[in-house]
Chains A and B, each alone.
Chain A
Amino acid sequence: MTGKVFKEGGHLEYAIEAKGLSKSFGQHIAINQLDLQIPKGRIYGFLGPNGCGKSTCIRLLTGLLEASNGEVNILGKPLLGNEESLKQRIGYMTQKFSLYDDLTVKENLSFVGAIYGFTGKQKKARINELLSLYDLEKQTKQFAGSMSGGQKQRLALACATLHSPELLFLDEPTSAVDPENRREFWERLFDLCDAGTTILVSTHYMDEAERCHALAILEEGNKRADGSPQQLMEAMPAKVVEVSGDNLRRLKQNLIQHPDIMSAAQIGAHLRVLVKQKVANPLRFISQLSDGRVAVLARPSLEDVFVACTGGRHVD
């Protein structure tokens, strides 16, 4: 911990700053001493398995939950005491669909528009703009409850961005969406980002995490690593070796027994092995262990980083 103190009014260049953010539910610590610095105009990712505290963290940052400990500054203002005024400036797309199933697409948008103070022509224009942007023009009269996962998610994004927030929270926005629609969705996110919106998105998909400008890997409420995908891959405390040959399943069982091997996972005809940093020559090390099968060094992927950081393997 660097002991850096918050200045009065916070840092303007950060959309989100958190220090020592903690949250416990009874005995259970859901978020543990989280420090975050998310610059404005970026897409920042929370990557982590189920139950690691992604949603809880977002709820803390939006002011929906009260932190047990720690300070949060949102858009340069302390969150505590400014929750209501910040609500005009942030948007939140919940993990579970939180619009009204028994209202139509248009009625949902109209309701949200009115809540944010839009009226008359201005509201109509904004709704039409969103309907065409998120390709919902054919569904205007359809009940939200009867739409497909992808359509629901586009409607939710339209509602969350209706008031053009400066900061957008997206909690696992693409969990019910096919890869094609997911690409589309990310196009929209980059559009928003280009327009100056800061986006915080949680996910457990590696490919999504890789699209973020920067991300934090969360596990059991702790931040295991953070930085850009590139930085994370470079700074990974392990080497990646790919072994090919036969009887890979048996080999895997043997390899994971070794204390210097973090993990081994079969990917097609290869066995992808993470070897601890301290091993000087990982290729020779693996060759010896695998009876002379072919071993090559491979470029680390985000998944490797994730595996190396989580499951108790981050501690040496």
Chain B
Amino acid sequence: MWIRIYAVFIKELKQLSRDKMTFGMIVMIPLVQLMLFGYAINTDARHIPVGLVDLSQTSESRAIEQAVMATQSVDFIARYASIKAAEMAITKGEIRAVLYLPVDLPRRLFLHPSYDHMQMHSALTLPIGQWIVDGSDTVIASSIRVLRNMPLDEVAGHEVTQTSASFEVVQYFNPEQRTVVNIVPGLVAVILTMTMILFTSAAIVREHEHGNMEFLITTPIRPMELMVGKITPYVIVGLIQVAIILSVGYWVFSVPIKGGLFSLFCASILFIFASLTLGLVISTVVKNQLQAMQMTIFILLPSILLSGFMFPYDAMPVAAQWVAESLPVTHFMRMIRAIALREASIMLLGKDALWLAVFTIVGIIIASLRFKKKLE
């Protein structure tokens, strides 16, 4: 029995190592995804092109422009004589927002509570300027909304007592760090789901399509031996990917692994096996590689959306939580975030670990039962 499993394992490993494309994907998928989520997909937009309508033309207005530029959130790329002209530019898509500074800017600034705390209770708390924002892109809109509470100490030329509004700003600017910390471990789960299911879902149909199956099923090989032998090489692949993501996360994005490496290893192994068996079950259902691909995407979408990777699990409706619970990735997402971010050990995560183990065993049995040594 072990001889045959080992034979299938070696055969798969050799085929895998000769398939340059697949081999490249094993390394490139984690790297590209990590860069995408780490750098490009940032909910905190920067250097948004905006315009300026400065009707006051005073030193104060120039100081405010400098202060806004200094936040790096926006770049003033154009000036407009009137609000009308600026609105036109927004409609055309040339700029995403415009800062309007009125004629009486110096007076408003002087009266503004954040400029001088002595004025805090003044009845006159007009805003010093106005942002007109293209609200169609919510990320950009919220980034600019943040500027609403921008502290004005630089403009004032002296230190301004922090108002409660300024604290709000601080809260807004922090997420940049927190998102990456949360995303990197989550990305391990998503990438493993994608690659593990993708590789194995085609495992059996590929043998059918290449005509190897007709010979293979006339040999004494047992379905279980074929299944186990076929998925084992991908366990190694999965572990390599976990290592890539977490070490790039550590070196490039400074995301620490707080919990033990052993717990991390156990959780990863459990999840890799669960995903591989899910792929195998798909492989025994589909008729060709295209269908295998479609099924993989069918599983992948809820895995990304419902696992807690994109949206908090607790905020989802109960029905969605049920679907989420049935996906291995949700359990792993919980485990790896707990291990990487909250120093949890695998012992504390027994329920999720057990669930993955049971899923694997049931999956392998279903796949073996479904796999008939027949051609039809």
With A87-B220, A102-B19, A119-B3 in contact, is A94–B11 under 8 Å at CB?
A: no
B-contact bits for A59-73, CB 8 A (1 contact / 0 none): 100111110000000
| Set of chain A residues within 8 Å of B375, measured between Cβ atoms | 59, 64-65
Q: How does the 8 Å CB contact mask read for B109-122 relative to A, with 1 for contact and 0 for none?
A: 00000000000000
- Taken together as a complex, chains A and B put the C-alpha atoms of A116 and B221 apart, in Å, by 8
Query: Would A115 and B214 be within 8 Å (CB), given that A64-B374, A88-B220 are in contact?
Result: no
Residues of B within 8 A of A112 (CB): 219
A99 CB-CB contact with B under 8 Å: yes
Complex CA distance for A90 and B220, rounded to whole angstroms: 10
Q: How far is the CB of B233 from chain A (nearest CB, A)?
A: 14
How far, in Å, is A115 (CB) from chain B's closest CB?
5
Most central of B3, B10, B219 by chain A CB within 10 Å: B219
Is A97 an interface residue when CB atoms closer than 8 A count as contact? yes
**Known contacts A100-B11, A100-B15; is-contact A66 B374 (Cβ 8 Å):** yes
- Tell me the minimal C-beta distance from B214 to chain A in angstroms: 5
A81 to nearest B CB, angstroms?
13
Residues of B near A36 (CB, < 8 A) are: none
Is A96 among interface residues, defined by CB-CB distance under 8 A? yes
- Chain B residues within an 8 Å CB radius of A83: 373
Q: Is A84's beta carbon under 8 Å from chain B? A: yes
Are B374 and A65 neighbours in the complex by a CB distance under 8 Å? yes
Main secondary structure of the interface of B (DSSP, over half): helix
B376 and A99: CB pair below 8 A? no
Task: Give complex CA distance A100, B373 in Å.
Answer: 19
Tell me whether B6 and A114 are in contact (CB under 8 A).
Answer: yes
Q: Separation in Å of the A70 CB from the closest CB of chain B?
A: 17
Task: Please tell me if the beta carbons of B7 and A114 are within 8 angstroms of each other in the complex.
Answer: yes
Measured CA separation A159–B215 after assembly (Å): 10
User: Could you tell me which residues of chain A, from 52 to 106, have a CB within 8 Å of some CB in chain B?
Assistant: 59, 62-66, 83-84, 87-88, 90-92, 94, 96-103
B4 touches A114 (CB 8 A): yes
**Number of chain A residues whose Cβ lies closer than 8 Å to a Cβ of chain B:** 33
Within 8 Å of chain B (Cβ to Cβ): is A190?
Answer: no
Query: Which residues of B from 201 to 243 have beta carbons under 8 Å from A?
Result: 210-221
User: B14 at interface (Cβ–Cβ under 8 A)?
Assistant: yes
Q: Is the CB of A64 within 8 A of B214?
A: yes
Contacts of A66 in B (CB 8 A): 374, 376
Contact for A103 among B14, B216, B374, CB less than 8 A: B14
B18 contact from A96, A99, A102, A114, Cβ within 8 A: A102
A62-B218, A84-B220, A115-B221 known; A94+B7 contact, CB < 8 A: no
Residues of A within 8 A of B215 (CB): 92, 94, 98-99, 159-160
* Interface residue from B4, B18, B19, B210 paired with A115 (Cβ < 8 Å): B4
Q: Are B219 and A98 in contact (CB under 8 A)?
A: no
What distance in Å separates the Cβ of A265 from its nearest Cβ neighbour in chain B? 36
Q: Is the CB of B218 within 8 A of A114?
A: no
Known interface pairs A100-B15, A115-B7, A117-B3. Does A64 touch B220 (Cβ–Cβ under 8 Å)? no
Q: Which residues of B contact A87 (CB under 8 A)?
A: 218-220
Cβ A102 vs Cβ B15 within 8 A = yes
A107 proximal to B (CB < 8 A)? yes
B17's nearest neighbour on chain A, judged by CB, is: A102
Chain A residues in 8 Å Cβ range of B217: 64
Q: Is A111 part of the binding interface, using a Cβ–Cβ cutoff of 8 Å?
A: yes
Residues of chain A within 8 A of B6, CB atoms compared: 114
Identify the closest chain A residue to B215 (Cβ): A98
The contact string, 1 if C-beta is below 8 Å from chain B, for chain A 167-205, is 000000000000000000000000000000000000000
Q: Which chain A residues border B219 with CB–CB below 8 Å?
A: 87, 112, 115-116
- CB contacts (< 8 Å) of B218 on chain A: these are 62-64, 87, 90-92
Residues of chain A contacted by B211 (CB below 8 angstroms): 94, 96-98
Which chain B residue has the least Cβ–Cβ distance from A119?
B3
Are A116's CB and B220's CB within 8 A?
A: yes
Q: Please, which residues of chain B bring their CB within 8 A of the CB of A102?
A: 14-15, 18-19
- A110: chain B residues at CB < 8 Å are 7
Cα–Cα distance between A63 and B373 once the two chains are bound (Å): 9
Contacts of B213 in A (CB 8 A): 98
A94 neighbours in B (Cβ, 8 Å): 211, 214-215
Other A-B contacts than A63-B218, A116-B220, 18 sampled, CB-CB below 8 A, are A59-B375, A63-B374, A65-B374, A87-B218, A90-B218, A94-B211, A94-B215, A98-B213, A100-B11, A102-B14, A102-B18, A103-B15, A107-B11, A111-B10, A115-B220, A116-B219, A117-B4, A159-B215
Using a CB–CB cutoff of 8 Å, the interface residues on chain B facing chain A are 3-4, 6-8, 10-11, 14-15, 18-19, 210-221, 373-376
Which residues of chain A have a CB within 8 Å of any CB of chain B?
Answer: 59, 62-66, 83-84, 87-88, 90-92, 94, 96-103, 107, 110-112, 114-117, 119, 159-160
A–B pairs, 26, beta carbons within 8 Å = A62-B218, A63-B374, A64-B218, A64-B373, A65-B374, A65-B375, A87-B218, A87-B220, A90-B218, A91-B218, A92-B215, A94-B214, A94-B215, A96-B214, A98-B214, A98-B216, A99-B215, A100-B11, A100-B15, A100-B212, A114-B7, A115-B4, A115-B220, A117-B4, A117-B220, A160-B215
